[in-house]
Structure 1
Amino acid sequence: MYEATLRITGRSAYADATAGTAASIELWCNRHCDLLHVSAEAADEVEARVSETVGVRERLRNRGETVLVTGDCLRDHEADLIESVLDRHGCLLLYPLEYEGGDKICRVLSLSAGALTDCFHDLLAADAAVTVESKRKIDSVRPRSPLLAPHGVAPDLTDRQSAVLRYAADNGYYEIPRAVTTAEIADAVGVTRRTAEEHLRRAENKLVDSLVDVVA
C-alpha cells in the first residue's frame, strides 16, 4: 500500500479562506455540510471568508481551537477535480483534507505506486497546479487526532495534582533547562518537596495514560 501527499494550488473556497494568512483548515466532509477545524491564528478572518462562500451554521471553540459547521457542503458550490481522478484509478482520498496558504493538501492512498503516478499525470493533464510533497510505502494508516479534545480524554486530577501541575507548567518546569525546581513548586503550593514530586508524578502518569493513544 502507498500513500502520497499532494499540494494543489488553485481557486477553492477553503483554500482562498487561508490565502494571505497563517491559518490552516482541516476539512471533514459530511455530504450535507462540512466540519472545519481552523487553527487559532486568524480563525476569525477565516470564518468571515467561509461565511461569505459556503456559510457558517455553528461555531465551537475550546482552548484556542475553532471548529466551524458550515451551512452547506463545499461539493454544492464547486466540483473537486481530484476526486474524479482518484476514482478513475481506484485510489482513496484520506480525510481530513488540509488547506493552508491558499493551497489544498491531500493525502491519497493506493494499492500500487503506479496508480499514484497515473493520478499525478492525469491531474497535470487537466492543468492542475499540483506537486508531490511526499510518497511512501506504508503498512498502516494512522488516524488524525480529534477535532476538539473531548472531556473523556482529559484525566481526572485531584485538586492538589492540578495545582502542582499548573504551577510547574506556568513557571517553566518543563522548559529546557528547567526554570523552577520541585522545591520551589512545593513552597508555592504549601507542601513538602517529596509530596510535590509525588503529586507531579501522578499527574504526569495520568496525562500520559490518557493521551498516548491519541498522539502516539
Structure 2
Amino acid sequence: MGVRPRYAGGQATPGPVRCGESSGRLRGLVLALALTSSVAWAQAPRNATLRDFHHTSWTQKDGAPAGVRVMAQTRDGWLWLGTASGLYRFDGVHFERHDLLPAGSIASRSVGVLRAMCNGDLWVGNSFGGASVLDARGEVRHFSPGGLPEGKPVESFDEDGEGRPWAITPQGVHVFEQGVWSSVDARWGCPRTKGPTASWT
C-alpha cells in the first residue's frame, strides 16, 4: 500500500515509508505534484487511469516552488523537492525551504539530484558540483569536493545491498566509505572509470 501524509489537528505529519518503495510511489506524482488521498496505487485496478484517482495539485500560489527537477521521499515520510532555487520539504500541506549549505556560502543552491537511502539519509547533488547529505538525525555534511570531482555535478546516486552510497559523475563512478568518497577501481572488480559512459546495472 502506498503511504500518504497523515493529518492530525489540521497539520500534516509524515507517515512511515518502507525502504525501496519511494521510487514507485513518486511516479504518480511527477506530472502534477499530486498525492493520492483515497486509493493507494498498489490497490488500483490494472486498467485504472489517472482520472480514476483523487488528486490534488499545488501551484506557486499555494507556495509550491517553481521548476521542480527531482523528488525523493525519505523513510520518515517527508517529500523532498529539488529545484534551481534550492531544496524544499513538503508535508502534504506546506512547502518549506531547507538550505543545507553553510551560512554565508556563496555556492549555488541549485539541486540536480536527490536520493533517499534505506537508512533514512537524503543525498543532495548540487547542479554545479559537490554534494550534501542530510542524515536521519537531521545532521548535515558537505562534500565539495570531498572526494568527488571538483566542479562536476553528481549525475545520480544509488546504494548497494550493504547500504553504501554510490555516485555517477562525469569523471566516473565513486563510492562512499568511512566518511569519504573515492573513485571505483580494480579493488571493486572493475577498471577505474573515466568519462560519462558509466551507468547502473
TM-score range, shorter-chain basis? Answer: 0.3 to 0.5
Greater relative CO, 1 or 2 (CA 8 Å, sep 6+)? 1
TM-score after normalising by structure 2: 0.33
Structure with the higher fraction of residues in helix conformation: 1
TM-score after normalising by structure 1: 0.31
